[in-house]
Amino acid sequence: MGFERFGFVSYVSQAKIGEFTEYLKNNQLMGTKCKKCGKVYFPPRGDCTSCLGEEIEWVEIQGEGKLVTFTQVNFAPTGFQKDVPYILALGQLNSGQYVFARFSKDVSLEQLKIGMALQLVPCKIDEERVTYEFQVL
């Protein structure tokens, strides 16, 4: 499975971080860590934006964090039209990374409060495609 299987709309089939989809498929949240400066990224990056290092290693990401902000999407871009409405959120993982992701469909706007605990988890969109989403703890 290549990177073309990530999310709802993919633009490339191969990437330096193509293994990311395999990890998600196996129910693992994995990020990348720069071997030069140690900065950890989630979602993963193939190159370090901090020191411009090109050597990375895969590291497991713990998905616990807190809700920073959220919005309900009622008008969607290409590839997402059949899914509206859905909730997008910015969360900060306990390890420090900020992550932009959708909330699980079983979460309602009324449940959400800024600062509340959340969990980032891998999920399958269908038999072929994978992504990650937030759930309420």
Listed by start position, the domains of the chain span 3-136
- 3-state percent helix, strand, coil for the chain, nearest multiple of 5: 10, 40, 50
**Residue 43: is its pLDDT beyond 70?**
yes
Band (83; pLDDT cuts 50, 70, 90): confident
**Residue 107: is its pLDDT beyond 80?**
yes
pTM score of the predicted model: 0.83
- Average pLDDT on 85-109 reads 95
Higher pLDDT residue, 45 or 2?
Answer: 45
> Domain 3-136 class?
mainly beta
Mean per-residue pLDDT over the chain, rounded: 89
What percent of the chain has pLDDT above 90?
74
What is the C-alpha to C-alpha distance for residues 56 and 27, in angstroms, rounded to an integer? 21
